[in-house]
Amino acid sequence: MRFELQLALRFLREGRTQSALIVGGVMVGVAVIVFISALVTGLQTNTFRRTLGAQAHIVSKPIEPAARVQSAPSDSAIAVVQTAPRKLRSIENWQQVIAAYEAVAGVVAVSPLASGAAIALRGEGRNAVTIFGVDLARYDRIVDLSDKLVAGTLRLEPGDVLVGTELAKDLGATVGDRISLTTGTSSANSERFQISGTLDLGNRDLSRRAVYLPLHTAQNMLELPGGVTSIETRIRDVFTANEVAAKLARITPLTVESWMVTNGSLLSALSAQSASTAIIRVFVSIVVMLGIASVLVVAVVQKTREIGILRAMGASRGQMTRVFLLQGALVGFVGSALGAALAALLVFAFGVFVRGPDGGVLFPIDLTAQLLIVACAAATVCGTLAAIAPARRAARLDPAQAMRA
């Protein structure tokens, strides 16, 4: 093998221009594949974080009552559809439901939630909001509020609220200030609270309307004595949400929806994005392989006489085959190593020059060692495969005819 390696390196050095061009082509191809892969992965991770970071993977709610259709008068062709009163429906036996859900394989955390519309008031400020009554210890395992805390303390004692950063700005409030929340016309539905912390929920609209308060307080304000409006579930593998939701639906007579149903358009967009990235990888890999193969075919033609002499001196067909396979592997490996370095430079440049509206990093790109190793290994294998046809051609050359070429 040492003889074959030395000969492969000599052939590459003698054709410096050709070798440099094909190594450069491999470098660019690998850099494109690695950079796009890292970019798409970072974008998808950021999208998942912003979309799923502030919501449960599976939500269970009471079944909505069906609308009643009244028969139309004899002289009318239109029936009248009456919906049920818009009073919040609640789950009364939520403790039993939570215990049953926690026993299902794949479920990581379950939490009750009492939510409804309200008005937040402070001075002249007035905002329509959604209040979320939560058991903080349980709910923090669903959406990781502690990771979203910007200021203050993650605390929900009686009289405390946690609010979104955008809502705090709209009301001109900071940690320690007091705001009023009202959910109806009576004084029983209105209370004053102290802001214990502000949260960046990753979504401006949600940060503008979210108010978190103790579960019992929300139950009183929303007139849900002992009940909750939904049960939030977090699972281990987000892509098995539909399967786990089907299991939960068989346990209780609730409407169970996974994030894959409520965010169907997002899932379709991410799938299309992944497919597009895969197509780009395949086409770039094909172009790189064709480039390596064409250069090695030319090398075989240029080295025909030398190959004939080597064969006449006792070099076997297997040795000549290995010489050109090694050339392909070396071109793939060196080009991929340089391509990985170029991809790292592109990722660095993206982080420095591409900025979001707020002047911060648009989204983080994680260039993992695993991605670089896989890219280098794949390029080396592609280079070796691309060299098979030229190598077989070199091995089949007749020594006598080759020396006369």
For residue 283, how many C-alpha atoms fall within 13 Å in the half-sphere facing its CB? Answer: 7
Using the predicted structure, report yes or no on whether residue 345 has a pLDDT greater than 60. yes
pLDDT of residue 105: 92
For residue 345, how many C-alpha atoms fall within 13 Å in the half-sphere facing its CB? Answer: 11
Q: For residue 403, name the pLDDT band (cuts at 50, 70, 90).
A: low
Using the predicted structure, report yes or no on whether residue 80 has a pLDDT greater than 50. no
Buried b (16+ CB within 10 A) or exposed e, 314-324: ebeeebbbbbb
Low-confidence winner among 38-42, 150-154, 179-183 (lowest mean pLDDT): 38-42
pLDDT of residue 183: 87
pLDDT of residue 85: 47
Q: What is the pLDDT of residues 196-237, one digit of tens each?
A: 999 998 788 889 999 999 999 999 998 888 899 999 999 998
pLDDT of residue 82: 40
Using the predicted structure, report yes or no on whether residue 325 has a pLDDT greater than 90. no
Using the predicted structure, report yes or no on whether residue 294 has a pLDDT greater than 50. yes
pLDDT of residue 400: 66
Alpha carbon distance 175, 216 (integer Å): 22
Residue with tokens 């109806």: 184
What is the average pLDDT score of the chain?
84
* DSSP code per residue over 169-193: HHHT--TT-EEEEESSSSGGGEEEE
- CA torsion sign, 42 to 43 to 48 to 54? positive
pLDDT of residue 67: 47
Q: What is the pLDDT of residues 58-78, one digit of tens each?
A: 999 998 765 455 554 554 444
pLDDT of residue 123: 85
Q: For residue 289, name the pLDDT band (cuts at 50, 70, 90).
A: confident
Q: What is the pLDDT of residues 348-400, one digit of tens each?
A: 888 888 777 666 677 788 888 888 898 899 888 888 888 888 788 777 777 66
pLDDT of residue 79: 44
pTM for the complete prediction? Answer: 0.69
Domain range annotation of the chain: 2-51+267-404, 86-253
pLDDT of residue 281: 84
pLDDT of residue 132: 95
Residue with tokens 């002289």: 75
Alpha carbon distance 304, 404 (integer Å): 9
Q: What is the pLDDT of residues 250-276, one digit of tens each?
A: 988 899 999 888 887 877 887 888 888
Using the predicted structure, report yes or no on whether residue 46 has a pLDDT greater than 90. no
Q: What is the pLDDT of residues 96-148, one digit of tens each?
A: 999 999 999 999 999 999 999 999 999 888 899 999 999 999 999 999 899 89
pLDDT of residue 177: 94
pLDDT of residue 77: 45
Using the predicted structure, report yes or no on whether residue 308 has a pLDDT greater than 90. no
Using the predicted structure, report yes or no on whether residue 51 has a pLDDT greater than 50. yes
